[in-house]
Structure 1
Amino acid sequence: MYTLKKSLGQHFLKDETVSQKIVEALLNEKPERLLEIGPGGGALTKYLLKIEGIDFKAIELDEEKVQYLYKQYPAIQDKLIHTDFLKAVKPFEEAFTVVGNFPYNISSQIMFKILDWKEEVPRIIGMFQKEVAQRIAARHGNKTYGILSVLIQAFYDTTYLFDVPPESFNPPPKVMSGVIELRLRHDFPEMKSQRHFFNLVKTAFNQRRKMLRNAVKPLFPPEALQDEIFNLRAEQLSVEDFAALTFKMQ
């Protein structure tokens, strides 16, 4: 078998019903190319390998899990990439779907990496710690709405699919989990540049308790800060509000 590594945030899915629900959601729109991030012990992989007519690949960092997967699922032999996803190069030249029970300790970093590839990743189905899943899907005005919500929702429509309880994993995490689906938007909000947008959003939420005017003051000329929108706090602005404000930045 294999050992669990806390340093890699490993909690392995053991509930077959949950695995099947994720695969069913995935097959609502069968992908041509599919990347699984962090197959671990193969809870999803064993089902994904059976999907006919797709180009499937998986990325796994843990050497022990790589060897386990080779032995347990020989069909994965030429489909497994042994590397750190955060340092990986794009596994396909053409568009591909992403699926995974994402390691909770790097799930936000995984999403930011996927954002770099967004033009080639039209769809994602991922399991996260429930709090992170809710944050990704949160709308403005909600207390969980933050950097992750805005940066992802600017480019993806998000849908919260279902909860996954701790007992579905080995070892059980201390928190609930949640599965969400993201679909690439066809109508990205207009912005001065992605760099300006990311800088504005991160600066605004880094001091989210402050009025926007005080939180982002260095980014704007004094006259722009007279607009009434700067009387609000970051969580009160929509994705489109942030995008529109980039045109007034210095």
Structure 2
Amino acid sequence: MKGVRAKKHLGQHFLKDQNIANKIVESLSGHQSYNKLLEIGPGTGVLSDILIQQNIYDLLFMDVDQESIDYLKDQHPDYSDQFILEDFLRMDVSKYFNEPFGIIGNFPYNISSQIFFKVLEYRNQIPEVVGMIQKEVGERIASKEGNKTYGILSVLIQAFYDVEYLFSVPPNVFNPPPKVTSAVLRLKRNETETLDCDEKLFFRVVKQGFNNRRKTLRNALKSFDLTTEQKSLDLLDKRAEQLTVNDFVELTNLLADGES
């Protein structure tokens, strides 16, 4: 069977460097907290091959590309049932996983942020993620307060995960090469089971704050109909990018009275 053609509309850039592939797989911290591992977008199988050879995890491989799935089933007939044609963003997680599972993958750039938002939905079931994404997005997710790259994804992910920017990957190790440098991140679930505030309101405050990131929070959060007392809060003198996760939790609690 012939190989897999990279499809532009799927954002496919296939990693061809074996050393980097090994390094990505080795970035998994271990299976102490999970036995099942999902690879998103296996493509030509450069990570899949290593994972199968390791024989450590109970593996599932998911791709929206029929050609990729057919190719990988042909390459690994003993694992044929574990290569699934499905979209991670639309999948019913409970259909495949009723216990903790890790995630690994060379994520398509055009949906990488959406993948992380889905991870957040199932954060109590996903202890670890090792993913390769566009460097710009990776820097944003790993960024700390006070940086221009710090944003919505930074706060929401860091609220529930410890984020490590592991290493950068140059374009020339892909086929076809992307126009940008890539980054490999590792997310490990922290000990925060639930935030000490109304989580739905927390998400609203974070998103509204960064949607108007050049404004002080007093102006950015005008749609919350703040009371006179709330308008005088010191935290509202700052911009969203200056607040830590804990600051956003505190602010959410201070605003909660006005929402009740």
Provide the TM-score with structure 1 as the length reference: 0.96
User: What is the distance in 2 between the residues matched to 1:214 and 1:188?
Assistant: 31
Q: Secondary structure at the match of 2:60?
A: strand
- Kept in 1, the 8 Å contact 2:62–2:87? The answer is yes
SS in 2 for 1:120: coil
Residue of 242, 251, 258 corresponding to 1:245: 251
The one of 13, 22, 46 aligned to 2:49: 46
Partner of 2:237: 231
- Counterpart check, 1:29 vs 2:34: no
Aligned 8 A contact 1:189 1:240 in 2? no
Structure 2 unaligned blocks of 5 or more: none
Q: Which runs of 4+ in 1 moved over 6 A?
A: none
2: distance between equivalents of 1:36 and 1:74?
Answer: 17
TM-superposition CA deviations, 1:94-153 (whole Å, max 9, x none)? 111111110100000000001111001011111110111111000000110000100100
How big is the shift at 1:80?
A: 1.5
SS in 2 for 1:68: helix
* Amino acid aligned to 1:59: M
Aligned pairs for 1:43-192 within 5 A = 43-90=46-93, 91-187=96-192, 190-192=195-197
**What secondary structure is seen at the aligned counterpart in 2 of 1:36?**
strand
Question: Per the alignment, in what secondary structure is the counterpart of residue 140 of structure 1?
Answer: coil
> 1:189 touches 1:243 (CA, 8 Å); kept in 2?
no
Q: Which amino acid aligns with 1:29?
A: G
- Per-residue deviation at 1:236? 0.4
Aligned alpha-carbon RMSD (Å):
1.3
SS in 1 for 2:246: helix
Distance of 1:115 and 1:187 partners within structure 2: 13
Rounded to whole Å, the distance in 2 between the matches of 1:189 and 1:133 is: 24
User: How much does 1:43 deviate?
Assistant: 1.1
**Structure 1 alignment gaps of length 5 or more:** none
Aligned identity (percent) is 49
Aligned to 1:6: 8
Deviations 1:47-89, CA, capped at 9 Å, x for gaps: 1112224211011111111111111222330111211110011
Going from structure 1 to structure 2, the CA distance change for 1:129 and 1:238 (only over 3 Å counts) comes to same
The alignment's TM-score, normalised by the length of structure 2, stands at 0.92
